Amino acid sequence: MTSAWTASARRSVAVAATDGMLHFELALAYEVFGSAPAALPGPWYDVSVCGTHPVRVGRFLLEPDRGLDGLADAGTVIVPALADLDADPPADLVEAVRAAHASGARVVSLCTGVFVLAAAGLLDGLRATTHWAHTGELAARHPRVEVDPDVLYVDNGSVLTSAGKAAAMDLCLHLVRQDHGSAVANIVARRLVVPPHRAGGQAQFVTTPVPERDGHPLAELLPWVMRRLDRPLTVEDLARRANMSSRHLGRHFRAVTGTTPLQWLLTQRIRRAQELLETSDDSVDAIAAATGMGTATTLRRHFHRTVGVPPDTYRRTFRGQPALPGAQPSRPAGDRPAGRDRRVSAGRTGPGS
């Protein structure tokens, strides 16, 4: 996580464009980083599209803003997906990405854009991922890369990689969360009507999607839990509410969210704590109570392990930023109107994720 925009260069985002890229990931990146939320309390990203000439992206012809040398001037470089993996990545793009990384840019690949980063040598000795259908090819062509086929995205600090389609959105929102905090990332997610957070370690492929019908066993359970994060819920409590056994509940959670009920619940508590640390002056003890952690000691232990810094350090990171419009001191989650929490859902994954 960057400190409250002290790394101002991160605001400069360059999206690489070359013939044969897939339009979905390129458009997705431009939508996330190129459209500032209406309620943003500070500067947003400055986005440019960089390429050597007008490029064919799917069925569309795209006119870049700058040449590929513009990548070296950016704080963050996004490399969208390549359609043709039988051909080597364009040499000029590989060199431009290598030069941008050497200049200090944070380099991000979406889906099969990872083959550009690997060709540039940026992934040697590091974990990386891509769309599950291409992880074998990535491992075969680049044996020095530690390919993880089972995750949504991998954050190595200055080099980040994602799986395909929906996972590319997850990684872009992860970057927004790093730069602006959880509350702003949630605003962006709500605007795009996507889940506000799916952890990078979540499985790429699960057997069924997010509940889409009222009759699904988790369709009512997940919002019910989100309204009660201040309470000491157990797996047995969730199973009782869903009217099923704990083992049966676990199978449903694994199929829908790619994780266990307890891990999902802990993730929601941590994300709620992040929001409260960013948007309220509540003490760590009060936030621990509001998120069902019980004590400040428990919150600090789980928060540090999950986020990487203690709650107090996380709060100081965002203390220099203006408060989000309408931010109020917290109250227990169970006292909030149900509509406040309908935006939270488990993420879906599948062959296109």
Beta carbons of 239 and 248 less than 8 angstroms apart: yes
Query: Which of these, 94, 89, 92, 93, lies nearest to 112 by C-alpha position?
Result: 89
Q: What is the mean pLDDT of the chain?
A: 82
Distance CA 96, CA 220 (A): 49
Mean pLDDT of 201-214: 43
Distance CA 319, CA 321 (A): 5
Q: Going by DSSP bridges, is the β-strand pair 76-79/127-128 parallel, antiparallel, or unpaired?
A: unpaired
Residues 6+ apart with CB under 8 A from 38: none
* pLDDT for position 141: 96
For residue 333 the two structure tokens come to 């989650």
* pLDDT for position 166: 87
Distance of CA 262 to the CA centre of its chain: 20
Burial of 143 (0-12, 13-18, 19+ CB in 10 A): exposed
User: What DSSP designation does 134 have?
Assistant: G
Beta carbons of 275 and 183 less than 8 angstroms apart: yes
* pLDDT for position 348: 29
pLDDT above 50 for 173: yes
Distance CA 41, CA 36 (A): 10
* pLDDT for position 105: 96
Distance CA 231, CA 308 (A): 25
* Measured CA angle at 230 (ends 167, 184), to 5 deg: 40
Task: Scan for tokens 């891990």, then name that residue.
Answer: 263
Phi and psi torsions of 273, nearest 5°: -60, -40
Phi and psi torsions of 255, nearest 5°: -70, -40
Residues 6+ apart with CB under 8 A from 261: 235, 238, 249, 250, 253
Q: What percent of the chain has pLDDT over 90?
A: 52
Question: What is the dihedral sign for C-alpha 337, 339, 341, 346?
Answer: positive
Mean pLDDT of 45-56: 94
* pLDDT for position 112: 96
pLDDT above 80 for 32: yes
* pLDDT for position 118: 98
Lowest mean pLDDT among 47-51, 190-194, 346-350: 346-350
Residues 6+ apart with CB under 8 A from 340: none
3-state class (DSSP) for residue 160:
strand
User: What DSSP designation does 322 have?
Assistant: P
3-state class (DSSP) for residue 86:
coil
Mean pLDDT of 176-189: 86
Mean pLDDT of 213-219: 64
Distance CA 36, CA 178 (A): 16
Reading phi first (left if > 0) and then psi (alpha if -120 to 50, else beta), residue 104 is in left
* pLDDT for position 190: 82
* pLDDT for position 336: 33
Quickly count: other Cβ atoms within 10 Å of residue 329's Cβ.
11
Distance CA 253, CA 162 (A): 23
Distance CA 265, CA 229 (A): 8
Share in percent of the chain as helix, strand, coil (round to 5) = 45, 10, 45
pLDDT above 80 for 256: no
pLDDT digits (tens, 9 = 90+) for 319-332: 655 444 444 333 33
3-state class (DSSP) for residue 228:
coil
pLDDT above 70 for 352: no
pTM: 0.66
Q: Read off the pLDDT band of 318 (50, 70, 90).
A: low
Of 143-147, 226-230, 232-236, which one has max mean pLDDT?
143-147
Burial of 206 (0-12, 13-18, 19+ CB in 10 A): buried
What pairs with residue 319 in β-bridges? none
Amino acid letter for position 53: H
